[in-house]
């Protein structure tokens, strides 16, 4: 039994590395979906913004 405990600790050490590796993919997944839709939305929003900006000047004239 005692030898099994240390043996479990050994795999636990590498397991720590696994969570880190797993955390990277998880974070990447969350970043990808959030980052992908964010850039397109920002670009789309930025495009329509400049267009309406020019019309205001002629209005006062």
**pLDDT tens digits for range 5-57:** 555 555 555 545 555 445 455 555 555 554 555 555 555 555 555 455 556 66
Tell me, yes or no, whether 13 lies in a domain: yes
Question: Looking at residue 30, what is its pLDDT?
Answer: 53
Residue with tokens 């590395």: 17
**Number of folded domains in the chain?**
1
- CA dist 12 → 9, 21, 25, 27, 51 (Å): 5, 14, 20, 22, 58
Tell me, yes or no, whether 39 lies in a domain: no
Number of H helices, E strands in the chain: 2, 0
Tell me, yes or no, whether 19 lies in a domain: yes
Question: Looking at residue 9, what is its pLDDT?
Answer: 53
Query: Could you tell me the residue range of the domain that residue 13 belongs to?
Result: 1-29
Tokens of 43: 């670009």
pTM of the shown model: 0.11
Tell me, yes or no, whether 8 lies in a domain: yes
Tell me, yes or no, whether 42 lies in a domain: no
d(CA 58, CA 43): 25
Helix (H, G, I), strand (E, B) or coil at 19: helix
């Amino acid at each position: 039994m005692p030898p099994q405990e240390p043996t479990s600790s050994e795999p636990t050490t590498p397991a720590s590395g696994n969570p880190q590796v797993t955390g990277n993919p998880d974070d990447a997944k969350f970043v990808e979906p959030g980052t992908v839709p964010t850039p397109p939305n920002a670009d789309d929003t930025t495009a329509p913004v400049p267009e309406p900006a020019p019309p205001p000047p002629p209005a006062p004239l």
